[in-house]
Every structure is written in C-alpha cells, then in structure tokens.
Amino acid sequence: MLVRSMRGWFLFRFLMLCILVSAAPLEAAWNNPYPPQESTQNIFYSSFGERPNHLDPARSYSSNEITFTGQIYEPPLQYHYLKRPYELIPLAAESMPQTIYLDAQSQPLGDHPAPESIAYTLYRISIRPGILYQPHPAFARDVFGAPSYLDMGRKRLRGMNKLSDFRETGTRELVASDYVYEIKRLAHPALQSPIFGLMSEYIVGLADYAKTLQTAWDALKKKKGENAFLDLQRYDLEGVRATGRYTYEIKIYGKYPQMKYWLAMPFFAPMPPEADRFYSQPGMKQRNITLDWYPVGTGPYMLTVNNPNRKMVLERNPNFRGEPYPSEGEPGDAEQGLLKMAGKSMPFIDKAVYSLEKEAIPQWTKFLQGYYDVSGINSDSFDQAIQFGAQGDVGLTPNMREKGIKLKTTVQSSIFYLGFNMLDPVVGGNSERAKKLRQAIAIAADYEEYIAIFSNGRGIPAQGPIPPGIFGYREGKQGINPLVYDWIDGKAVRKPLTEALRLMKEAGYENGIDAQTGKPLTLYFDVTATGPDDKAVLDWWRKQFDKLHINLVIRNTTYNRFQEKMLKGTEQLFRWGWNADYPDPENFLFLLYGPNKKVGKGGENAANYENAEFDALFVKMKNMDNGPERQAIIDRMVDIVRRDSPWLWGINPKSFALYHAWYGNAKPNLMANNGLKYKTIDAKLRHDRREQWNQPVLWPLFAALALIIAFLVPGFIGWWRREHGANL
Amino acid sequence: MISYIIRRLLYAIPILIGVNIITFVLFFVVNSPDNMARMHLGMKHVTPEAVQQWKHEHGYDKPLIYNAQQQGAKKLTDTIFYNKSVKLFAFRFGQSDSGRNIAYDIRQRMWPSLSIALPTFMVGLLLNITLALLLVFFRHTYIDFWGVVTLVVMMSISSLFYIIGGQYLVGKLLHLVPISGYGEGGNVWKFLILPVVIGVVSGIGGGTRWYRTIFLEETGKDYVRTARAKGVSELRVLFRHVLKNAMIPILTGVVVVIPMLFMGSLILESFFGIPGLGSYTIDAINKQDFAIVRAMVFLGSVLYIVGLILTDISYTLVDPRVRLE
C-alpha cells in the first residue's frame, strides 16, 4: 500500500514538473550555439562553407581565404570602402606610391613620357611610422633581449601544439624591409605563390631571384631535409629594396599601371623575417604551427582560434593604431546612415566568430534564428527570402521584413560565359562561316531565360567581356551587343530567332544541315557536371541549340580530364568564368589576348582567341590611364570581340546579401577585402531578438511520450495478466 | 591465442601492401601529378613552370612505380609509390600535400567523431537489442505486428530524412538544441544530443529487425523450451538465456565496427558541423590530396583487420567451445 502510494506521489511530482517546465516562459534560448556570456558582447557571427587552404599572404588567393587574411595583413594600399567607382587609398602607406618612369639607363623620364620610351617604372612607397605588429611569440624577448622562442629544439617544443601555448609574446614596429621580405617570398620555391609567374614578368630580377633561391633551397634540403630554412635576407632582389626605415622601392619592367592594384592585396603585405624564422624551426611543421596556419600581421584583427573544421576567430589586435572611418562616400550613403560613424576610430567590432557550415539548411536556419548576422541566399531558401514585385523589382518577403532583415544586391565583377575553342575546325577560326555560326548561337542561347530559371533572377546577361563596375563598361543603348540585341523602348531586346536562322543559312547550315557535307551539324559541349541540378541545365542547353537544329552532344567528364582537354585544345564548347582581381578592364580583356592562349602557353585565354588588331589595341590600352582615349580603344576592342564572338558572353551574376537589423555599415564592396573593421553590431538588439525568436517549445515532446505510453500500456497489461494471472 | 594473433597480424602485411597498391593505382589512374598540382595551385595564373615546381617540391616529379633511369634497387625505391607508401607501415603519415601534418589532424579530429559515434553505437546497440527482445516477448500480439511495421517503415526512410527532419523539428520548430555546431567542455552535450538521437533512431529500423530475427531463431531451440518447461519466467528466458546464446551473431556484426567508430560519419558530421574525421577522406579526394587519401585508406584497412581479430577473440569470451589456434 505504501509502495503504491509512493509510486503515485513520484508520478504526480513528475507530471507536475513536466507541466511547469513546458508552461513556464524560459529566459534563455536553449538552441544558442554560443556560450551564454557572449550574448551581449560586441561579436560578429558568420559562417564559412569551405576551410581556407592558405593563410600565408604569399600563397593565399581564394576569396574564402582573403576573408581572413584581409583583416590581418596590411598591404600598402586599400580600396575606399564607400566610394564608387572603386578608388585606391593608402592603408599602411603614408600616401599613394610615387610613380617614376625610367629609361633603359634607369634615368627618370618626367611625368608623362611617351610609352615606348619607358623601360622601367619605379614605385616609391613610404609607410606610416609607428605601426605595430600584433602580439606574437616570434617577437618575444627574454631579459637579455634575445628572442625567447628561437632555436628552441624539439625538447622545448614538447607540449606546444598551438600558437597560444607560447606564453610570451612581443611586438615590434613595422619597417619597410618587411615589405621587401614578403616580395622576396613570392619567389620562394617551397611556397609556390600563385602570382609568382605573373610578377616575375614585371618585377625586375624576380625570375632570376627564383632560380638563385631554387639552387640554394635544393642544396639546403639535401643537407637538412625537412628542417631546411632559407634565409631570404641573405639574398638581394634586384628590383625591390628598402631605401630607409620607412621607405622602399619596387622597380618593374616597362609600364604596368595595374601594379598599384596588386599593392592592395595581401601578396604585398609585410612579413617580419622573425616570424618566418620562428615558424621554420624543427618540429613546428609537425605540430602544424606554420605561417600558413597562424598569420602574423599589423591589421585591425588577429587570428586567435584557427580550427577550420569548426570555427575561426578573429579578435581585435590590441596593438592596432586605429584608423578613422571614412567621412565621405558616394551620393546616398549619408541617407543610408553609412556616414554616421565618420571619423570614429576603427575597428568597431571586438571579435568575429566564423563557424563551419557545410550544409545550407543549418546555415540558413541559424541566420533566421539570429545566430548569424549575415547570410547569402541559396536556391532552396530563395523563395522564402525574396519576392519580385509587379515591375520585376526585387524585395524581401513579409517574413523577412518582419524580422527587420535588410537586403543588399550588387552585380558582381565576374563573368560566366560559354566559350568556343577557336582552334576547332567547326566552331573556331576567323572565317565568315564560323563567325556567323557563333553569332547565330549567341542569339539562340536565351540567357534571360537561363537567369530566370537557374539563377532566380540573380544576374544580368553580359553584353561583352567587361562586367558592370569596371572602367570601360557601358550602360544602356551604348552598352548592348548589337549582334544579339536590339534597343527597343529603352530596353535591350534579344533579336528574334529568325535572325539566328538567317545567319545559319548564310553560314551554310540551313536547317542544321552542313551544306558542304550534307550531314546534320553536331556540336560537342565539354562539361564537368556533377550535381543533380546539372541535368536540367544541360537539357536547357540542348534545347537552345535545337532551336537552330543543331545536335548538341554533352561530353560529361571529370575535372582533370576537362583541364587536360582545355590545355590540349581538344574541346569544342566549354563553360568558364572569371572573377576580377582588380577593377581594371585589362583584367578581363587579357582573357582574349592572343599571347595569353591556353594551348601552348598555359594562359588564361581559354578560347584560344587571336586577333591581331585586338592584340595590338590591348597592348596599347593596358598601359593607359583611364580616360576618353582609353574608353575609345576599349569600345573598339569590345566591338571586335563581339563580332568575332569567341564567347557567348554569358552572365554577370548578381549577389544578394541579407543582414540583420543589428548589423551596421553594410555596403557591398567587391574589391575591398578588409571590410570587417567598418562594420558595427548592436549586441543588445541582437540579444533581445534571439530571446524572442528562440523560446523552446516542449509540449510536443510530452505529447509524443504520452502517445508511446498509450500504445504500450495495453500490451503490458496483457503481459501482466499472462505472467501473473491476476486482474489489474 | 597469442600465436594466433601474431599469425593474423603477419597475414595483415601482404593485405596492407595490396591495399596500398590498389589505392595508389586507382588514385593515379584518375589523377595525374599534373592534375594534383593544378588543383593545389588554384584556378588562376597557373603556369606550366608552377606545375613543375609544385611536383618537384612535393616529390611527384618521379616515375610512379618503376624508375628505369636509376640503377639497382633505386629503380623501385626512387619512385612516387615507394617514397609515399613505405613510411605508412611505421604509421608515419607525414605531411598532406597542402602542408598539414596528417597524424596531428587525425588526432585532433578523431575525438569529435568519437563523441558522436561512441554514444550512438552504445545507445543504439542497447536500444536495438532491448526492443528486439521486447518484440520477441510480445510476439503474436498487436505490439509485435505494429512494431515490425514501424521498423520496416523506419528502415525504408533515408538517413538524410532523419537528419533534415530532426534538425527541422527539434532545432528549427521546437528550438530545443542548436541546429548544428560543436562545443567544448561541459557545453558539448547540447550539440551532441540531437545527432546522437538521430543516429540512434535512424538505426533502429534495421538494427532491431536484425536482432529480432536472431532472437526468434534462438527461441525455437531446445534449451529455451527446457527453460520454459522448468518455469523460468519469459523475461528471464529472453534477457538471460536467449541473449547469451545469440551473442556470436551479434558480436560478428558489432565488434568489427568498434575500431572504425573514430573514422566518423560523413553525412551526420557534415549536416551538424561536427569537426570530425567523417569528411576528411572525402575532402582529400575532392582536393586530390593523395597523402591524406593513402593515409586514411591505410588506417581504415588496419582498423578493419584489428576489428576482425577482435571479433575472433570475442568469440572465445562468449563461447567456451571456440579456441583460437
């Protein structure tokens, strides 16, 4: 009797507890993935989908790497955050580099010399005094002033598995020779810097320097194996030298105005030799303590946690000098509140936490729950986030607006095109027949439809090789490709299919039959289609060619095989793309420059296009400053390639970015990679919204439990009767 | 038994050499060193010189298996295969092609994998066996009938559905736990509970049906009938006698997977953002990092062999009639 009553009492208490727990308003959000103490801190939360491979400034090139390196390293120049068109301004440099043109005897030529007289260009750069490196063990000194962590030996390294295990840190002032050291590193044989090939064509002596280093490195490796350390300070580089504590010079061959854009990339950020030596000690590499993993810079942030399988954390660099927020921007910036912080010292955010999210669903859900401050939009969540108005204008859905989410869109400085291999006997070459065939295909391939179906409207049909936002791009009627579009009622309208069929007939392919052979025209499209979505895309492509009665055969292949085909020039049609390195038309037009062909030269001209007039104009244009004369040459070049049609110009994609209400100073900048320092977070607002949006719901759990019990009880009663032969 | 184990370990050597050769051949049939170089150097400004430089620096500028230009033993040893494979047998995995220490990465990533896999395995095993015994206990009742129907339904559903459905229901609608991520220290449980529950639930259908079949077969045997005739309660018959006698088939399926647990689960870890080993090999294949691929395949083979040996040993523990000689 007592037992039964006690059991009943426990049951009653359990049920009461369940009811209380499920009914009580709970203070904290249970699904908060971050430590509770961080809730009201000035922290930026974001995600990354793919781990960065390299954080060494000599090697890092991908956009997912530059998200981090851009905040840590400080090259001499940067892009103005707000102004458009993009404008370079000093970062670590005191002023913009002084450009001196030299003749073959390295004598100055004056301010505006004839281009043919320029043998060299000298960039003289002065950096700001007083800039300090982030705290780092490489700078730590003992009481005698000797480096604390140099020549440590494997014994002392025991127990040191990450950079934070080195207790002592130090700093020192940034000097010009650190910039020189980094440029030397571009030629280091073990680093394989992605821009070494390009820079060795320009920086005086860099190619020979690499050969010297290679010989020295091979000898060192033979002698010391994995512990080899190549001290670059012992080898001088002819074209780059420090001329003072805060000044250095870079000498390049001829004139290359685009060099200044490279000076805004981490490749040209400073590297203290002590850091290089610190990371090269025996045993460091075996512990994954490398410069590629633990960057050291002078920027506003430093990497304090690097676990790219889980999260990466940037924290405010306590030694950062502070930098004023810009006080001017483009029209409309002030109205959008982008100048509210003008003149205030940056950075504004104390810490940035980037979590690994490989899958789109959890990433999107966490953004909606307020656990990520920004998000892109993938195809699955597009309809949930975006709606189109009656005029085709893009807006947020009511759900998003209710949450205070903001949308910013911008056309990217990128192009995704379909290329014709110009070496191919059918689609390639400069014959009228081949040109007309390519032009006909250009009309038939309805990129407007492609963008609507496969990109949710996130893009615009490209009219030529230069994307919007880059000098040389033309808006409106002047900018349309007249071979594919007509300008009707203030809009670019694709030419009718009859025009394409007429071109086919003139090319000798009436109704898709080759007049010369009498056989149906079959073209081959080499692709590396891997995902389930690709089938629909490829079916769409078949339909486009079918409009011209062309039989399109899809040759699906592996990435490696595709690359080999491209290098050998055995493909016929292919898809390719390019993201701008810098906002200059040279960075796109060089993709069609003859000497830059893929076949035989290994260049970026994937279509193997060659046109003597275009090539001559390119050489002239690339060394010019922006202005009407350069625009005229670009117009002519664009006209040439439009008529030759080596590409279907494809798409300039549009990026859609979502921001929560507590995220401030957001403005898309496709060139600046150091944007974190400008941003603000209203941590209180974020905390309140998270609490409001994430109250736990418990009743379904108890309902499910009750259902299971209800299902099992009759069975147990039956078993009880069977076992005990008693009535309950 | 010791001599048996030593013999089995010696047998493993030619197996591991064979696995290494197959991995090597399969990898290099699909990827050439030039492809690997291009993949590692990125998409932009990759010159033929840069490709050569990368191969030289990473030791991929040698012949694959046979070096005709060398003399004597160097014909075999001065090759990519020899240089990249022989150290594996000393468990020296070396550096990945992207420069990371593989052994260090494995040590770092195995713990998150284990933190999911071990509770999933243990809870799943206990739950599946218990449910199977209960179904056998309630055989010929509506509980058995509807239980089996439910199990068939559960095993017919893709594990991806459990993951996405679980995340949607528990993480998104009910806000009970973080939808993905991984914590540290005492905070870790709230990240593990959902993937573990999903891992367990997704395995119930197949697991319970499998054990139910084993137990049903056992319940038809003479010793069960004898036990019942002696008046032993049905619960005792099942949980003591039947369970004990069904251990051999259970151990056959269970022990072999124990060493493999730390290799992680690709899909589960990917969806929940668990920083484990699940995606390590797949990522390496996608990035054409041969150093990691060969290390992980080698490790997988070693663990599988260890699992098989452990299985054999476990037989002796549950069945005194089994002798390893």
A201 Cβ neighbours under 8 A, 6+ residues apart: A207, A253
Q: Which of B45, B98, B234 sits opposite A197 (nearest CB)?
A: B45
Residues of A in Cβ contact (< 8 Å) with B177 = 30-31
Q: What is the pLDDT of residue A380?
A: 83
A717 touches chain B (CB under 8 A): no
Residues of B in Cβ contact (< 8 Å) with A695 = 175
Q: Could B279 and A358 be called an inter-chain contact, meaning their C-beta atoms sit closer than 8 Å? A: yes
Q: Which residue has the tokens 């399969």?
A: B26
SS3 content of chain A, % helix, strand, coil (to 5): 35, 20, 45
Q: Which residue has the tokens 């670009």?
A: A634
> Cα separations (Å) of A377 from A14, A372, B153?
45, 13, 34
Average pLDDT of span A660-665: 96
Dihedral angle at the C-alpha atoms of A693, A696, A702, A708, nearest 10 degrees? 80
Q: Which fold has domain A415-655?
A: Dipeptide-binding Protein; domain 3 (3.10.105)
**DSSP for B84-126, written as a single string:** HHGGGGGT---B-TTS-BHHHHHHHHHHHHHHHHHHHHHHHHH
A668 touches chain B (CB under 8 A): no
- Nearest chain B Cα distance for residue A159, angstroms: 13
A573-579 and A522-527 beta bridge pairing? parallel
Query: A14 falls in which pLDDT band (50, 70, 90)?
Result: low
Output phi, psi for B249, to 5 deg. Answer: -65, -30
Q: Which residue has the tokens 């049951």?
A: A11
A27-41, A102-116, B116-130, B251-265: lowest mean pLDDT where? B251-265
> Cα separations (Å) of A46 from A311, A437, A660, B287?
10, 47, 12, 24
With a pLDDT cut of 70, the percent of chain A lying above it is 95
Q: Which of A29, A197, A563 sits opposite B50 (nearest CB)?
A: A197
**Structural domain boundaries in chain A:** 43-71+298-404+660-695, 72-289, 415-655
Q: Which residue has the tokens 């990450």?
A: A162
- Say how far apart CA A336 and CA A665 lie, in whole Å: 9
Query: A8 falls in which pLDDT band (50, 70, 90)?
Result: low
Tokens of B10: 């010696």
Q: What is the pLDDT of residue A152?
A: 85
ipTM summary value? 0.86
Asked if the model's pLDDT at residue A504 lies above 50, the reply is yes
Q: What is the pLDDT of residue A4?
A: 47
Q: Could B275 and A288 be called an inter-chain contact, meaning their C-beta atoms sit closer than 8 Å? A: no
Q: What is the pLDDT of residue B323?
A: 74
Q: What is the pLDDT of residue A160?
A: 87
Q: What is the pLDDT of residue A2?
A: 42
Tokens of A707: 């259902």
How many other CB atoms sit within 10 Å of the CB of residue A280? 17
> Cα separations (Å) of B250 from B119, B133, B211, B256?
18, 13, 8, 11
With a pLDDT cut of 90, the percent of chain A lying above it is 78
Q: Could A285 and B101 be called an inter-chain contact, meaning their C-beta atoms sit closer than 8 Å? A: yes
Q: What is the pLDDT of residue B89?
A: 82
Sort A97 into a burial class: Cβ within 10 Å, 0-12 / 13-18 / 19+: buried
Q: What is the pLDDT of residue A121?
A: 96
Average pLDDT of span A436-460: 94
Mean pLDDT of all residues belonging to chain B: 88
Q: What is the pLDDT of residue A3?
A: 42
Residue type, A113: P
Q: Which of A31, A194, A355 sits opposite B175 (nearest CB)?
A: A31
Side-chain-side CA neighbours of A308 within 13 Å: the count stands at 22
**DSSP for A48-78, written as a single string:** ESS--S--STTT--SHHHHHHHHHH---SEE
Q: Which of A146-160, B19-33, B84-98, B218-232 has the highest mean pLDDT?
A: B218-232
Q: Could B167 and A361 be called an inter-chain contact, meaning their C-beta atoms sit closer than 8 Å? A: yes
SS3 content of chain B, % helix, strand, coil (to 5): 75, 0, 25
Average pLDDT of span B69-85: 86
Q: What is the pLDDT of residue A645?
A: 96
Instruction: Give the H or E element holding residue B207.
Output: helix B189-219
CATH number of A43-71+298-404+660-695, picked from 3.30.465.10, 3.30.910.20, 3.40.190.10, 2.60.40.420: 3.40.190.10
- Say how far apart CA B237 and CA B233 lie, in whole Å: 6
Q: Which is more confident, B157 or B252?
A: B157
B319 Cβ neighbours under 8 A, 6+ residues apart: B247, B248
Q: Which of B45, B105, B177 sits opposite A195 (nearest CB)?
A: B45
Asked if the model's pLDDT at residue A6 lies above 70, the reply is no
Q: Could B50 and A564 be called an inter-chain contact, meaning their C-beta atoms sit closer than 8 Å? A: no
Residue type, A30: W
Average pLDDT of span A609-627: 93
Average pLDDT of span A15-44: 72
Q: Which residue of A has its CA nearest to B93?
A: A286
**How many CB contacts within 8 angstroms connect chain A with chain B?**
155
B181 touches chain A (CB under 8 A): yes
Asked if the model's pLDDT at residue A728 lies above 50, the reply is no
CATH number of A72-289, picked from 3.90.700.10, 3.40.630.10, 3.40.47.10, 3.90.76.10: 3.90.76.10
Asked if the model's pLDDT at residue A26 lies above 50, the reply is no
Query: B50 falls in which pLDDT band (50, 70, 90)?
Result: confident
pLDDT one-digit tens code per residue, A322-378: 999 999 999 999 999 999 999 999 999 999 999 999 889 999 999 999 999 999 998
pLDDT one-digit tens code per residue, A282-300: 989 888 899 999 999 999 9
Mean pLDDT of all residues belonging to chain A: 91
How many other CB atoms sit within 10 Å of the CB of residue A355? 23
Asked if the model's pLDDT at residue A461 lies above 50, the reply is yes
How many other CB atoms sit within 10 Å of the CB of residue B301? 18
Residues of A in Cβ contact (< 8 Å) with B108 = 307, 309
Find out whether B160 and B133 touch, Cβ atoms under 8 Å.
Answer: no
Asked if the model's pLDDT at residue B187 lies above 90, the reply is no
**Structural domain boundaries in chain B:** 109-289
A404-418, A620-634, A686-700, B256-270: lowest mean pLDDT where? B256-270
Q: Which is more confident, A692 or B282?
A: A692
Q: Could B270 and A358 be called an inter-chain contact, meaning their C-beta atoms sit closer than 8 Å? A: yes
Residue type, A178: D
A32 touches chain B (CB under 8 A): yes
Q: Which residue of B has its CA nearest to A214?
A: B53
Q: Which of A641-655, B173-187, B276-290 has the highest mean pLDDT?
A: A641-655
Find out whether A137 and A281 touch, Cβ atoms under 8 Å.
Answer: no
A43-48 and A351-356 beta bridge pairing? parallel
Asked if the model's pLDDT at residue A726 lies above 80, the reply is no
A605-614, B144-153, B209-218, B281-290: lowest mean pLDDT where? B281-290
Q: What is the pLDDT of residue A23?
A: 46
- Say how far apart CA A51 and CA A356 lie, in whole Å: 8
Average pLDDT of span A15-22: 52
Q: Which of A29, A357, A362 sits opposite B167 (nearest CB)?
A: A362
Asked if the model's pLDDT at residue A99 lies above 50, the reply is yes
- Say how far apart CA B54 and CA B158 lie, in whole Å: 42
- Say how far apart CA A715 and CA A713 lie, in whole Å: 5
A404-413, A474-483, A622-631, A714-723: lowest mean pLDDT where? A714-723
Average pLDDT of span A477-506: 95
In B, residues 138-167, which contact A (CB 8 Å cutoff)? 138, 141-143, 146, 164, 167
- CATH class of segment(s) B109-289: mainly alpha
Q: What is the pLDDT of residue B209?
A: 95
Q: What is the pLDDT of residue A1?
A: 42
B74 Cβ neighbours under 8 A, 6+ residues apart: B67
Q: What is the pLDDT of residue B26?
A: 86
Average pLDDT of span A12-38: 66
